[in-house]
Structure 1
Amino acid sequence: MASDLKPSDQRSACKPAFTELKLDGAERSETLAQIANGCEEWGFFQLVNHGIPLELLERVKKVCSDSYRLREAGFRASEPVRTLEALVDAERRGEEVAPVDDLDWEDIFYIHDGCQWPSDPPAFKETMREYRAELRKLAERVMEAMDENLGLDRGSIKAAFSGDGRHEPFFGTKVSHYPPCPRPDLITGLRAHTDAGGVILLFQDDRVGGLEVLKDGQWTDVQPLAGAIVVNTGDQIEVLSNGRYRSAWHRVLPMRDGNRRSIASFYNPANEATISPAAVASGGGEAYPKYVFGDYMDVYAKQKFQAKEPRFEAVKAVAPKSSPAA
């Protein structure tokens, strides 16, 4: 079974597998087992032969790279760049400087159905609309595989995210670039965090690395793999599975060379949806509280880069104030 993660220079030796998304036919059982292993052992895995046309992925690369070229001047004038330049200037004057721990060396924008999308480059809207439709279908296929592995009825996770069909789950996409960084020792690309939502599908740069996942106290590279989609589980999957699937800490390191492109799509519950451990997953003992997802997001916005366990405790305290109706 092939590997998608290789050890970083911090001595991690474990290697989770990538999987071909074959959920029909003779290879179905093996695919489900690989997905289960990725969710249980890592919180990360890579999908190949996922059904998204490679030609579409190439177009996504192009329109996102073209979009960054139009934004590049703005990034050069951004707060992270100004802050890093000020640190380097202070260092040249002989002053002692410390790495910045509250900024990310990242240019980002978000697209979802309720916001205005870039109209330049001209092909951006059409390409990303087509791509997001494919990614949404892929996310739902992955969730159905998780349902089966967890012993849940098919469609259970989607139903939880939609409040049994009463609300539309949120599907957003974050387009990021991590430009070359002259002093990666003084700033992070993206600080370590877990993702707040459900299932995250990442189309990462296939040449420039930097993404790392934390396992057993050590950081491991998520090695670029051409044409693959990286999948990771967010905090809400951890809760629904009652901790069987853990959301993984991950980060992006800044690089001196290269310009890392990253397109992450998030299939999250509706803000009104109520989240709690599924009955089958809990086995009668629930390790997580019941809460409304919008309340969790309020807490997460303030504590994203902090330990996740206090977030669950905090939302437990506010949950009774929110309507339990999903």
Structure 2
Amino acid sequence: MPIPVIDFSKLNGEERAKTMAEIANGCEEWGFFQLVNHGIPVELLERVKKVTSECYKFEREEEFFKNSTPVKLLKELVDKKSEEKLENIDWEDVFLLADDNEWPPKTPGFKETMMEYRAELKKLSEKLMEIMDENLGIPKGYIKKAFNGGEGDQAFFGTKVSHYPPCSHPEMVNGLRAHTDAGGVILLFQDDEVGGLEVLKDGKWTDVQPIPNAICINTGDQIEVLSNGKYKSAWHRVQAMPNGTRRSIASFYNPSYDATIEPATHLVKKENKEFNQSSYPKFVFGDYMSVYTEQKFLAKEPRFQAVKAV
């Protein structure tokens, strides 16, 4: 069964109710869905493909194959003729973009293109949070306000630029190990030719099919908490592939480190009228990230319990 593909342009027409229901289903049943006709110009997306691919090719590829830890460790296993698998490392070249960090210096147009792209993605993420507010029956702007720790613009919006180079022994290493995302709303612009991304649904791994110029959405742990478990953060992974370099650009709207996260009061009261209990603790997001950093690839439920005790 393919993951849901939703035509976002229909949100403003006669099919609004149907589209809202499709997004709700994507959040509730999958934690993953793809948006087409999302309003981000194709011309901008083409420039993003160009500058990120050029950045990897001219600034990062040689270093990855010459000096990276996964390449060295995989070579050691192959040389030993071992049948082991590298369990605690990923076949991934990755760096993080934020507005105030250093930008790759050698790729023409990289900073200008990615800043323009990030601005578009941030607007899309805020629109999606408003849709989640409406579908959950909580006040408009609730999730955004929670992530910002109140009014203002304190939430963290980051972009992770990843490439997964071809791997000569893909059976011996993960592209990216299975995990749920720590934060809020994740917007992924994935490669439209090289696959490898999979999401766990009903105990089975399902391919997230490449669709040209689609934006893939998934919900992180903080959306699960705010929705009191109605929306689940989805387990996903990337398989190492023998051919082609997979491009993956994930942007994420996360709470401020100082933001207090807990299930929305309206949902706690609605779902537990007699006991008024929530399924998740109240915590500061920065404390959660301290736990997540150590336990990213482990079961998520103990993370919620651990942060409860902080």
Conservation of the 8 A alpha-carbon contact between 2:2 and 2:208:
no
Conservation of the 8 A alpha-carbon contact between 2:157 and 2:252:
yes
Equivalent in the alignment of 2:219 = 233
Equivalent in the alignment of 1:75 = 64
Q: Distance in 2 between matches of 1:38 and 1:101?
A: 30
After TM superposition, give the deviation of residue 163 of structure 1 in Å.
1.0
Matched, 1:305 2:297: yes
Equivalent in the alignment of 2:132 = 146
Equivalent in the alignment of 1:54 = 42
Conservation of the 8 A alpha-carbon contact between 1:17 and 1:45:
yes
After TM superposition, give the deviation of residue 97 of structure 1 in Å.
3.3
Could you state the TM-score of these two structures normalised by the residue count of structure 2?
0.95
Q: Distance in 2 between matches of 1:242 and 1:81?
A: 41
Could you state the TM-score of these two structures normalised by the residue count of structure 1?
0.91
Equivalent in the alignment of 2:260 = 274
In structure 2, the gaps of 5 or more residues are 271-275
Matched, 1:15 2:2: yes
Which amino acid in structure 2 is aligned with residue 225 of structure 1? I
Equivalent in the alignment of 2:273 = none
Conservation of the 8 A alpha-carbon contact between 1:205 and 1:262:
yes
Conservation of the 8 A alpha-carbon contact between 2:3 and 2:208:
no
After TM superposition, give the deviation of residue 73 of structure 1 in Å.
0.8
Which amino acid in structure 1 is aligned with residue 304 of structure 2? F
Matched, 1:89 2:70: no
Conservation of the 8 A alpha-carbon contact between 1:269 and 1:293:
yes
After TM superposition, give the deviation of residue 121 of structure 1 in Å.
0.6
In structure 1, the gaps of 5 or more residues are 1-13, 319-326
- SS of 2:124's equivalent in the other structure is helix
Conservation of the 8 A alpha-carbon contact between 1:167 and 1:273:
no
Equivalent in the alignment of 1:5 = none
Tell me the C-alpha RMSD between the 2 structures: 0.9
> What does the per-residue CA deviation read over 1:273-307, in whole Å, with 9 as the maximum and x for residues that have no partner?
00000012223320000000000000000000000
Conservation of the 8 A alpha-carbon contact between 1:167 and 1:272:
no
**Match among 278, 301, 306 for residue 286 of structure 1:** 278
Q: Distance in 1 between matches of 2:213 and 2:84?
A: 38
Q: Distance in 2 between matches of 1:146 and 1:303?
A: 27
Q: Distance in 1 between matches of 2:74 and 2:94?
A: 18
Conservation of the 8 A alpha-carbon contact between 2:99 and 2:115:
no
Q: Distance in 2 between matches of 1:185 and 1:50?
A: 36
Q: Distance in 1 between matches of 2:266 and 2:192?
A: 38
Structure 1: which 4+ aligned runs deviate by more than 3 Å? none
Q: Distance in 2 between matches of 1:120 and 1:35?
A: 40
* Percentage identity across paired residues of the two chains: 64
Q: Distance in 1 between matches of 2:11 and 2:257?
A: 30
Matches within 5 A, 1:113-152: 113-152=99-138
Conservation of the 8 A alpha-carbon contact between 1:16 and 1:45:
yes
Conservation of the 8 A alpha-carbon contact between 2:287 and 2:307:
yes
Which amino acid in structure 2 is aligned with residue 15 of structure 1? P
Equivalent in the alignment of 1:8 = none
Which amino acid in structure 2 is aligned with residue 297 of structure 1? M
Equivalent in the alignment of 1:264 = 250
Which amino acid in structure 1 is aligned with residue 69 of structure 2? E
Conservation of the 8 A alpha-carbon contact between 2:2 and 2:209:
no
Matches within 5 A, 1:93-242: 96-166=82-152, 168-242=154-228
After TM superposition, give the deviation of residue 166 of structure 1 in Å.
5.0
After TM superposition, give the deviation of residue 17 of structure 1 in Å.
1.9
**Match among 45, 53, 59 for residue 65 of structure 1:** 53
| Comparing 77-86 and 18-27, the one that deviates more | 18-27
